[in-house]
Amino acid sequence: MKVEGYEVKEGFYYTATHEWASVEGAKIRIGLSDFAQKSLHEIVFVELPHKGAKVSQKNSIGTVESVKAVSEVFSPVSGEIIEVNEKLLDKPELINEKPYEEGWIAIIKADKIHADLKNLMNTENYMHHVKEEAKKH
């Protein structure tokens, strides 16, 4: 689905800071939304979280560096990092090219998946958020 020229994936959950979360059983795949990657422009470096690290919802788990800025990546859920997308180390531009597919950042084994998801926006709410954010750009 598109809103204001930005792709929004149906069935995903989103943070106000434009991270997405896709539920895969008890695991959550996370990344940056299309809005985030377009706002950052060309991404040239990604600092990935460490596999095995314990993370808390809304806390920083890494950074992305673009030609424009360095931005923190915040975890949409609490849990343990069980996988990171090491392809991003050599090809950080995957976040720009396919933010919801090959550009994912990490997979988290969630501690309290249902409680954490309640703190995130569903697709419809995120679309309204993107409309408001787009007015500021």
Query: What 3-state class would DSSP assign to 112?
Result: coil
Q: How far apart are CA 11 and CA 6, in angstroms?
A: 16
Q: Show the tokens assigned to 7.
A: 């792709």
3-state secondary structure 30-97: EEECHHHHHHHCCEEEEECCCCCCEECCCCEEEEEEECCCEEEEECCCCEEEEEECCHHHHCCCHHHH
Which pLDDT belongs to residue 41? 94
Domains of the chain (ranges, CATH numbers): 2-136 (2.40.50.100)
User: Which DSSP helix (H) or strand (E) runs through 27?
Assistant: strand 27-32
Strands 70-74 and 60-66: antiparallel
pTM above 0.75, yes or no: yes
Which pLDDT belongs to residue 7? 97
Q: What is the mean pLDDT of each run of 10 residues along the chain (137 residues)?
A: 95 98 97 97 97 98 95 98 98 98 98 96 98 89
Which pLDDT belongs to residue 136? 85
Which pLDDT belongs to residue 36? 97
